[in-house]
Structure 1
Amino acid sequence: ATQEGETWTAAINSPEAVEGLTWYTDLALKHDASTSAATTWLETDSLAAFLQETVPMFITGSWVPATIEAENPELAEKLVAFTIPAKDSAVAPSFLGGSLMCRFTETAEPELAFELIKLVTTGDFATRWAEETNYFPGTTAALDEVVAGGDEITKVFATQMTEGGKSVPVTPAWGKIEGAKTLGTMISSVLDGTAVQDAADTAAEEMDGFFSE
């Protein structure tokens, strides 16, 4: 989506987006590298298939290698990681995401609540949290510490995040778009036979409806 002032407009049906969507869906439609059913899979489904060695690779997060090591040590010894390749570079854009910490608007101690949030998301606590959960911290300084003390696989995930990480549109409407599964529905419709441009136009119309609310 593109932003002008405070207004967001869907760009999922732009020529560039349609080119990317065509390439992506062709992995399944032309190259049999996936199946339409995969659009409904959860992260845990992909991990389970990898642990069972029924798929050779999958896209996942920095917290998963530790699980693989615990569940299948022999497989973990063979594990390698690489950034998501792009058309013209080694690192493709990928959405940044994670859990959110917030304070209730009606809390009796708003300033104290915010101090707690700062305490657990910065400094030593942020670094400890990252080390113990295998999730990356939310500050650059803490991330540098984790990467410096990590292995080669950790560094790959960090590179993907720092060089390819992109934010979703910063608007409350995005939560509604995710809730409506607009993008997932678009991909599913293409895999079921809808022309990419038509599916993208439908998705863009729905997104613009949410953006205009």
Structure 2
Amino acid sequence: MILTACGSGDGTGDGTTESGTVEIWLSDWGPEYEPYWEEIAQEFSTDGVDVELRFVGGSDAHQQYVTAISSQTAPCIGLVGNTWVPEFASLGALMPTGQSAEEVQEQYVSAAADSVTYEDEVYGYPWNAAVRALVYRADLFEQAGLEPPATWDDVVEVGEAFQAAYPDMHGFGVAGGGQWYYLPNVWAWGGEIATQEDDGTWVSRMDEPEAVDAYSFYAELLTEHGLSPEGAMNWNGGDLVNAFNQNQIGMFVAGNWDLKSLLLQNPEMEAKVGTAPMPEGPGGSNATFIGGSDFVIFDSCELPDKAKEIVDYILDPQRLVEITSQLGFMPAKLDALELESTSGSYSSELWKVFPDQLETARFVPATPAWGGVEATGELVNALHAIIGGSEPQGVMDGLAQTMDDILGDG
């Protein structure tokens, strides 16, 4: 959908004689959020400048950007998935912000700042942040005398105790179809997913003992401990929410957006649910991926100063919180996050675990080839193979080789 706000002469301006169109591509969250963006577009549509909004969504959103870049029809401003920034920067498609890596670390959540930094240059402005934590049935835990698990070993112990107390339910929701729910366990076990060598090349570390053990442990939650239904091998986030709401599981790893979805579907659950930090692994880490979106200005933008003015306006703390809170996101900008976590929608006992979890969140390996690794599906296929009985080391050796082939081309 494309919406255009035409210049009227009474919007925000700096007295310059700039003219042209500033096209902004935004995620399509639904028509109820469009007035927020339309108001911003109108604010900056001055004499000679029109701000045009396009809402893109669906599984082909990334491809729409790639096609626009290759055909030189990219928008002036884009709100892009944070894992896309290194890729687009490597193509020379993005305009550097002029900030240093140190400056963005002071202004944004650390992992979000990492998402806009490529080869020591900054190419974007983090907008929202998302992380995962543990969600559990606090009411049933209390009745059974259980505490939420602090470690992954505790997940097994508590999960089995939960099943003993509630035989018609499972203790933990395995998400075998969603790599983001278990790939961070490689860090929890003390390993790395991929690292950059001194010569700049990226190398997979998924064949090392920590990664092998992390994948094996997660598979055994299903195969050895029976903490989830058999179908959980293919579950993703939406399946976990449904299973929790249908009283099938007692706890699961959930994104802040998963919890929002859960409570929208079943408001009565708010009095029954609790949250806790991600469990720690034997490596002493409970890091999870940071998800989210970043604003970028494309190198082809003909009105870069106006584009930067618009982005700055959007990132005003109060304005940022206004929209991210509606969407169930957290702002990635530290001053706005402070508002949300102290007096906003993430300040309550139930929600504050998510801003706290941001402190240990990490970004994916910052290589432009990472999208290619994800696209193979091999991060999920490896877990499925181990669940199916294949020898873990051999499976992970194959995964590492596939990753190296892709990373070497990045």
Q: TM-score, normalised by structure 2?
A: 0.48
- Specify the structure having the higher radius of gyration (Cα): 2
Distance 2:285 2:352 in 1: 13
Equivalent residue for 2:393? 197
Distance 1:89 1:18 in 2: 13
Identity %: 28
1:185 Cα deviation after fit: 1.1
1:109 Cα deviation after fit: 2.4
Q: Does 1:33 align with 2:239?
A: no
8 Å contact kept, 1:122–1:139: no
Distance 1:21 1:60 in 2: 19
Structure 2: which 5+ residue stretches go unaligned? Answer: 1-193
Structure 1: which 5+ residue stretches go unaligned? Answer: none
1:119 Cα deviation after fit: 2.8
Equivalent residue for 2:195? 2
1:104 Cα deviation after fit: 4.1
CA deviation profile, 1:121-152 (whole Å, cap 9, x unmatched): 34222222232222111112221221112201
2:276 is paired with a residue whose SS is: coil
Equivalent residue for 2:315? 121
Which of 148, 171, 176 is 2:367 aligned to? 171
More strand by share: 2
8 Å contact kept, 1:96–1:166: yes
CA deviation profile, 1:89-113 (whole Å, cap 9, x unmatched): 8861211111343344433323433
More helix by share: 1
Counterparts in 2 of 1:161 and 1:91: CA distance versus 1, 3 Å? farther
Which amino acid in 1 is paired with 2:348? D
1:49 Cα deviation after fit: 1.6
Distance 2:259 2:214 in 1: 29
Counterparts in 2 of 1:207 and 1:28: CA distance versus 1, 3 Å? same
Q: How many residues are treated as equivalent by the alignment?
A: 212
Distance 2:235 2:306 in 1: 40
2:259 is paired with a residue whose SS is: helix
Counterparts in 2 of 1:187 and 1:89: CA distance versus 1, 3 Å? closer
CA deviation profile, 1:6-55 (whole Å, cap 9, x unmatched): 21110011112112222121111210123564343332222122122222
1:22 is paired with a residue whose SS is: helix
8 Å contact kept, 2:241–2:261: no
Q: TM-score, normalised by structure 1?
A: 0.89
1:167 is paired with a residue whose SS is: coil
Equivalent residue for 1:162? 359
Distance 1:72 1:169 in 2: 36
Counterparts in 2 of 1:39 and 1:115: CA distance versus 1, 3 Å? farther
Counterparts in 2 of 1:113 and 1:41: CA distance versus 1, 3 Å? farther
Which amino acid in 1 is paired with 2:386? V
Which amino acid in 2 is paired with 1:2? T
How do residues 39-50 of structure 1 correspond to structure 2 at under 5 angstroms?
Answer: 39-50=233-244
1:172 Cα deviation after fit: 1.1
Distance 2:267 2:285 in 1: 28
Distance 1:10 1:35 in 2: 31
Equivalent residue for 1:182? 378
8 Å contact kept, 2:238–2:258: no
Which amino acid in 1 is paired with 2:395? A
Counterparts in 2 of 1:103 and 1:54: CA distance versus 1, 3 Å? same
1:197 is paired with a residue whose SS is: helix
Counterparts in 2 of 1:135 and 1:206: CA distance versus 1, 3 Å? same
Which of 38, 52, 60 is 2:246 aligned to? 52
Equivalent residue for 1:22? 216
